[in-house]
Amino acid sequence: MYAAMGVLGLAPSKETGPVPTVGGAAAPAPYVPPQRSDFSLRGGRPATVLVLGAGVAGLACAYELGKAGYDCTVLEARDRVGGRSMTLRGGDAVTELPARVHSGTTQAAATLGAGETQQVTFGAGTYFNAGPARIAQWMVTLDYCRELGVPLEVFVNANASAYILTEGMKAPVRARTARADAYGYVSELLAKATDAGALDARLSDADKERLLDFLSDFGEIGESYGYTGGDRRGYRVNPGVGAGTGLGTPPSLTEVLSQALGRMLTMDAGYEQAMPMFQPVGGMDGIVRALAAQVGAERIRTGTRVTRIMNRPEGVEVTFDGGAPLKADYCVAALPPHLLARIPGNLGADVRTALATPVPMSAGKLGLEYGRRWWEIEDRVYGGATETDLDVGHIWYPSYGFHTERGLIVGYYNTGEDAETYNALPHRERLRRALAQGRRVHGGKYGTDLIASVSVAWRRQPHIEGSWVRWPSLSGFTLLQRPAGRVYFAGDWLTHLIAWQAGAFESARKVVTELHHRVLKEG
């Protein structure tokens, strides 16, 4: 109510009070959801809104607007809600578009073959988050989980017991071993250079002492500054009653440098990737299911492909396959920009150009269901990921169902050229290639006990056609933050959190706030 009064000029605006700051920058105003009572002050009424796309952004818009009684209708081209927030289980089917060759930025596509349909045959309880799978603590996505009652559990994003395998390595090593060696040798070099006076121009005597102290702990190099290994590397036979058997002498400095570990050891250093991370219990689609339930099934039309978007003086008119055009006061277009750019209408040349600017990217994932959790039983790996620079990218171990009979490994999660290589193949070939790579990490057991598999190439998913987008320039980004007439745009692609559900939520909140303020002002 206070916020609504502010909008109407009946309460002091934010600018008159002290502006809270975060790290010197103005903190964004806290989100205030629209409420029915916002209208009772001046007797306006909630508008009718057509929401295009039932991904996280579209569903969140309908959910938030619904709190104030807006009459929303969500049009979704796919036969399920959620967009990329897709969790696959036994009984699901995944159909792909034909493979294409993308040439540069023109995206001129040549059809190579027909699209394939995969039937998912996972057992009860097995699920595969083919899209988003991990949520950072600071992301608004967790607030929605709390609000919607979606239970959470830890997603093990980094695991010292998992492996690293790069093309520069003869054999995979445990992450803890690779880290001990890399930290050890880097510390040795820096300590010896410091001790020999090589950095005297840069360091005071006190700095040198502190740096040497730091390095002896950081690299476990002791007083001599020589790295000779230590129990951070782990054991061949772990200590118990006996003292354990070590892994032997560490590889040479030259060998460790040739392992190219920089990126492998810092995967979870990014602020979006830092542990602990979280996942909804039972599958990521728990979030979109809960949103859709709140919006109401009767307001969501799946299998409804939009074919035209028109701004009219009094409202919007949206045409779709197989039905009379729908009219509403406003529209929120929450589709991928590259698909929106292809939909005819009268949004204007600038808007069309802006929508066509973001470049759709490729990512792929393969789910492998095993009948025996050999990674837990034999390798003692409970969740987390093996990092590689092979074409499979990352291999993920399940963060749910520990010690149960079956389990689901993500056999590849790759992006860019690696994803395009796999995406161009039929599922059988993807599987064969990924299993061959996985054997380089885990040996022959990677191919046994395999029960079922399914792969998703996001560039080939109908009505999505990309894993996320990249903006080559931000000019159109700014333009699309504003509505085109009565049509607003929402999605992760309009935020600095691209490829995160949090981006979709943040964008939805912004659009809902602006649309609501406009309705309160203009009626």
CB of 134 to ligand PHE, least distance (A): 5
CB of 77 to ligand PHE, least distance (A): 23
Taking each helix axis from N to C terminus, what angle separates 501-522 and 56-66, rounded to the nearest 10 degrees? 40
CB of 119 to ligand PHE, least distance (A): 26
| Distance in angstroms (rounded) separating the CA atoms of residues 78 and 387 | 33
If one asks whether residue 278 binds ligand PHE (CB under 6 A), the answer comes out as no
- Yes or no: say if 395 and 381 are a contact pair by the CB < 8 Å rule: no
- Residue 343, token pair as written in the block: 């939909």
Binds ligand PHE (CB under 6 A): choice among 78, 134, 406, 459: 134
CB of 461 to ligand PHE, least distance (A): 16
Closer residue to ligand PHE, CB minimum distance, 272 or 449? 272
If one asks whether residue 449 binds ligand PHE (CB under 6 A), the answer comes out as no
If one asks whether residue 289 binds ligand PHE (CB under 6 A), the answer comes out as no
For every residue of 56-90, DSSP letters joined together read HHHHHHHHHHHTTT-EEEEE-SSSSSSTT--EE-T
CB of 80 to ligand PHE, least distance (A): 21
Q: Which residues pair with 167 in a beta bridge?
A: none
CB of 507 to ligand PHE, least distance (A): 15
> Could you give the angle at the alpha carbon of 425 between the alpha carbons of 421 and 428, nearest 5°?
130
CB of 298 to ligand PHE, least distance (A): 32
| Distance in angstroms (rounded) separating the CA atoms of residues 318 and 467 | 26
Q: Which regions of 398-449 does DSSP assign to beta strands (E)? A: 407-415
Q: Which amino acid is at 14?
A: K
Give the CB-nearest residue to ligand PHE. Answer: 499
Binds ligand PHE (CB under 6 A): choice among 191, 499, 511, 512: 499
Question: 3-12 burial, b for 16+ CB within 10 Å, e for fewer?
Answer: bbebbeeeee
| Distance in angstroms (rounded) separating the CA atoms of residues 246 and 232 | 10
Binds ligand PHE (CB under 6 A): choice among 53, 500, 509, 515: 500
| Distance in angstroms (rounded) separating the CA atoms of residues 513 and 4 | 10
Size of the site for ligand PHE (CB under 6 A): 4
**303-362 positions binding ligand PHE, by CB under 6 A:** none
CB of 363 to ligand PHE, least distance (A): 7
If one asks whether residue 272 binds ligand PHE (CB under 6 A), the answer comes out as yes
Q: CA dist 307 to 109, 187, 264, 461, Å?
A: 21, 61, 45, 18
If one asks whether residue 396 binds ligand PHE (CB under 6 A), the answer comes out as no
Closer residue to ligand PHE, CB minimum distance, 71 or 272? 272
- Residue 124, token pair as written in the block: 């009860």
- Yes or no: say if 348 and 483 are a contact pair by the CB < 8 Å rule: no
Closer residue to ligand PHE, CB minimum distance, 137 or 224? 137
| Distance in angstroms (rounded) separating the CA atoms of residues 177 and 165 | 12
CB of 417 to ligand PHE, least distance (A): 16
Closer residue to ligand PHE, CB minimum distance, 175 or 331? 175
Helix (H, G, I), strand (E, B) or coil at 419: helix
If one asks whether residue 502 binds ligand PHE (CB under 6 A), the answer comes out as no
Site of interaction with ligand PHE (CB under 6 A): 134, 272, 499-500
